[in-house]
Structure 1
Amino acid sequence: MTPSPWASYPAESRGRLHPEPSDARRGPRDAFQRDRDRVIHSIAFRRLRHKTQVFLAPDGDHFRVRLTHSLEVAQIGRTLARALGLNEDLTEAICLAHDIGHPPFGHAGEDALKAAQQETGGFDHNGHTLRVLTRIERSYPDWDGLNLSWETLEGLAKHNGPQRHPGWALRAVDAQWPLALDSWPSLEAQVAALADDIAYDNHDIDDGLRAGLLTLDQLMALPLVAQGWTAVRARWPDVAPDRLARELVRTQIGTMVNDLLAETRARIAEAKVDSADAVRATPYALVGFTAGMREAERDLKRFMYANLYHHPQQLTAAAAARDVVAGLFAAFRAEPALMGEGWGDAPTDEPDRSRHVADYIAGMTDRYAVARYRAVIGPVDMPDGL
């Protein structure tokens, strides 16, 4: 599909913090293709395969982890970008990288790091994503970070909208290379944010059903789900319900995607944007759901928090995970040498010392965090597999 005027064009990129000469030896790729590839080849991206999405140490190989979630977000993001005439490579780069800053154990781990750093600025996984990509990853001889393009970093910083009160990590990145935090980002970044919502809203239903923490009967309380289930059952009236659960999820994803495309096209036409910079100058989101779908999606989120994310089994596992992260933080902050080579030489002053320790812990996978806890502190009761 021919790119639209409002798409991001790699030839018009604002460049990289550290200028790089073109190097044809590494293939005929443009700036956004290189960004996507750098994310995929990074150590931080590989570690996502052992970081929690919803379930800690899921009993079985069929549940999602942070890596598979990121791949599914990228798949939905590419579909949306292609339909809207946007740059698919930039969209994919943002989708793939958006969760790189998550610590072990998902939001439970983030809550523990936030509490541990309460006096030193807190912790935010989105700000940490930018910190990883601009500082902590060290794959290149001439600079720290992956030296991604301005458009990719801007999209990651603002994929959920303008950042008018950024945390310390994001402020530090912005001070080094201003990302216009108070404006809306490119359409590619806005697409990535909604692709994330569509992915986890629906794929968490699939995992919740598979785990036995959700039932189809419960889900029928949601009109959006009930409508999709009615359509699925009408097409396959003689197929067992448990075999149709994933068809329900696919149907629901399609419904949300089509709603988003129709609404976004209408907003773009009304705003009369004719460039990526015109998109940034628009004081509201151009990518979004209709009012009805937006409310239905919020209802779905509320349902998932009440019935899956805050399920007693999940809360018990999350409490254990927070104890592991809090225990590691206290131990490493008191005795940095326990972090080992490359990390044990910690700053002596605050807040740098605490932030250094948090950087180390945030990079851990779930299983490595538990292994370090057992080695440094002692036994801990965690789900099988950890």
Structure 2
Amino acid sequence: MTPAPYAADPAHSRGRRHAEPADTARGPRDAFQRDRDRVIHSISFRRLRHKTQVFMAPDGDHFRVRLTHSLEVAQIGRTVARTLGLNEDLTEAICLAHDIGHPPFGHAGEDALKAALAGQGGFDHNGHTLRVLTAIERPYPRFDGLNLSWECLEGLAKHNGPVRHPGWAMRAADADYPLALDSRPSLEAQVAAMADDIAYDNHDIDDGLRAGLLSLDQLMAVPLVARGWAAVRARYPDVAPARLARELVRAQIGTMVNDLLDETRARIAEAQVDSADAVRATAHALVGFTAGMRDEERALKRFMYANLYHHPHQLAAAEAAWTIVAGLFEVYHADPARMGAEWGAVPADEPWRSRQVADYIAGMTDRYAVSQYRKTVGPVELPEGF
């Protein structure tokens, strides 16, 4: 398929923070393909297999984790990018890397680190993603970070839109390699953001049903889901409802993707953008739902917060996660040597002492954080199924 004129072009990339001699090239890949591959081969990406998506350190092997979620986001993102004539490799790289900055235990762990660093600049997973990819990952001999392309880093920084009030980690990344934080991101980054929403809106339904925290009867209170369920039941009237739950999820993803494609095409045509730079100059996002789907998707999110994310089981798990992360921070801050030789050489002055401790904890998987808490702090009671 011929790329659209407003697609990101690897041949015209703004480059990388650190120049790489041509003789170090490995294989016939362009800049954005290399970005994707560097993410996939990174230690931080591998650790996502044991980091929380919805359920913390789940006992069941069938629940989603950050790694499987990122792969599902990439699948949706590639489909949308291909249909719109955008660069699939850049879209995929952003999708795969977008959650690398999450600490253990998802948003509960993030909230605990944010509180621990309240006087030292705070913590947010999006800024930490940039920090991991530009400073903490160190697979190369002559520079820190993965040395991703400007377009990939820009997309990760701004996939949710211009960053008006960046935290300290994102400010540091931007100061080292300016990412034009006040402008719109590429269409590829915008697609990645919407693919993320579509993936977790629907796959969290699947996991919630599997865990028994949601029921099909409850879900019928959401008009979007109720219509989808009626259509699925009409297509398969002789199939048991329990077997149709995943068909509901698949159909709903298709409905949302088709709406997104129709609305995005209309916005692109109206804006008359003819280059990637023209996309960055637009006043509003060009990738998005119609007004009707936007309202229905928001209603679905409200339902999920009320009935799944804030379910008593989930709140108990979040409380345990807070205890673990806060306890680890206190112990490591008081005695950095407990973090080991690689991390234990901590600056004495703030905010860097606290930030390095947070860097170490943020890199942990759920199960490693639990084991380290028991080793360095003491016993901890975990909710059933944790």
- TM-score normalized with structure 1 length: 0.99
Total equivalences in the alignment:
386
Q: Which residue number in structure 1 is paired with residue 9 of structure 2? A: 9
Residue 143 of structure 1 aligns with which residue?
Answer: 143
Match of 2:67 in 1: 67
What SS is found at the alignment partner of 2:344? coil
One-letter amino acid of the structure 1 residue matched with residue 340 of structure 2: G
- The residue that corresponds to 2:31 in the other structure is 31
The alpha-carbon deviation at position 272 of structure 1 amounts to 0.2
8 Å CA contact 2:57–2:105 kept in 1: the answer is no
Task: Give distance in 1, aligned partners of 2:346 and 2:24.
Answer: 40
Shift of 1:21: 1.8
Equivalent residue letter for 2:213: L
CA displacement at 1:199 relative to structure 2: 0.1
Q: Quote the residue 1:107 is aligned against.
A: 107
Structure 1 segment 280-359 matched on structure 2, within 5 A:
280-359=280-359
Moved more, 22-31 or 125-134: 22-31
Verify the 8 A CA contact 2:313 2:383 in the aligned structure 1: no
Q: CA deviation at 1:385?
A: 7.3
- The yes-or-no answer on 1:87 pairing with 2:87 is yes
What secondary structure does 1:119 align onto? coil
Q: What SS does structure 2 have at the residue aligned with 1:343?
A: helix
**Offset at 1:57?**
2.0
| Contact residue 156 and residue 189 of structure 1 kept, 8 A | yes
Q: Which residue of 2 aligns with 1:197?
A: 197
Determine the C-alpha separation between the residues in 1 that align with 2:263 and 2:163.
24
- 1:60 offset after TM fit, Å? 1.3
> Aligned equivalents of 1:126 and 1:214: distance in 2?
29
TM-score by length of structure 2 reads 0.99
1:270 corresponds to 2:270: yes
Distance 1:162 1:345 in 2: 36
In the alignment, the residues of structure 2 paired with residue 35 and residue 280 of structure 1 have an alpha-carbon distance, to the nearest angstrom, of 21
Instruction: Give the secondary structure class of the aligned counterpart of 1:118.
Output: coil
Identity across matched positions, percent: 81
In structure 1, the residue matched to 2:222 is 222
Q: Deviations over 1:208-238 (max 9, x none)?
A: 0000000001101111001100110000001
Local SS of the residue matching 2:169: helix
Which ranges of 4 or more aligned residues in structure 1 deviate by more than 3 Å?
Answer: 383-386
Q: Distance in 2 between the 1:23 and 1:261 partners?
A: 41
1:34-183 pair list within 5 angstroms: 34-183=34-183
| CA distance in structure 2 between the partners assigned to 1:243 and 1:344 by the alignment | 52
The 5 A counterparts of 1:244-263 are 244-263=244-263
Gaps of 5+ in 2: none
Letter in 2 for 1:194: M
Superposed CA RMSD in Å reads: 0.9
Paired letter, 1:367:
R
Once residues 75 and 114 of structure 1 are traced to their aligned partners in structure 2, the CA distance between those partners, rounded to angstroms, is 31
How far apart in 2 are the matches of 1:138 and 1:24?
A: 17
Secondary structure of the corresponding residue to residue 104 of structure 2: coil
Distance in 2 between the 1:375 and 1:128 partners?
26
Measure the CA separation in 2 of the matches of 1:56 and 1:314. Answer: 8
Structure 1: which 5+ runs fail to align?
Answer: none
